[in-house]
Structure 1
C-alpha cells in the first residue's frame, strides 16, 4: 500500500468482542493510555458511529472504518483489528441495516488534510477481498503489517 501510517503495535489479531460498543471501549482505553487520543474521543467516535455508521458490505469479508474529528487525535495512524467472530456494525450506506464485520480499520488523524488521502488508501484495502482474507487469516500483527505494506 505504500504510504499508510501503520505500526505493528497498532495491529490486533483474532480479537473477541461481544459487540461494537465493547470494541470501542477497549480500543479507546488502549489508545488513551498510549497518548494517541484526547479526552472526549470515546464520546466523539461512538456518537459519530450512531449518526454516520461505518460498516461496509464489502463482500464476503465485511469491514468497518470508524473515525472521528481530528481534534480528538494526536497522531495519524491506522489501528487494524481482526476479529475471531464478526460483530455487527450499522451500514454506512443504509444505517437501518447491519453488517457482520470481521476487520475493523480505525482511522486516527490529527490533520484534516490527511483524511481524503488516507480514506482512498483504505478503500483500496477494503475493495480487495483476497487481501482481506489474508489479513483475517494472519496469526500475528507482523503478518498483517506485511500484507498491508506489499
Structure 2
C-alpha cells in the first residue's frame, strides 16, 4: 500500500469514517495536487478492499469498510485514560517517512499526548520503560 493511500485511509479514520474532500486535499497535499489526486487515492483504497464512496452532496469521502488503525486506537485509548494500552499500541512514529501535513500533525499529536499521559502516571518504572519506546526528552528527565 502506498504511503499516500495509507494517509488517505488514516485521514478518514481519524475523522470518524467520513471526511470532506477539501480537508483531504489540504491535509494530504497542502492544497498542491491535481483534482484527480483524492479520487485516485479512493480508487487505490478500494483496490485494496477498503470500500470508500464519494458523497456529492457533502463533497466528502466515507469509508464503508471497518478498518483498524493503531494510531486511531492509540488516541482512543489515551482519550479513555488507558495509557498502558496506548503505549503498547505505539510502535514508532506514525507514518515516519511521510511529510504530508496530516502525517506531521498526527505524529506530533501522538507523541505529545502519549508522553504527557505517561508522565502523568507518576510511575517511575513505567516512565523509564516508556522512554525506551518513545524518543521524548521529557521521559528521560522525568519532567
**TM-score, normalised with respect to structure 1:** 0.28
Structure having the larger proportion of residues in strand: 1
Asked which structure has the greater RCO (Cα within 8 Å, sep 6+), the reply is 1
**TM-score, normalised with respect to structure 2:** 0.29
Structure having the larger proportion of residues in helix: 2
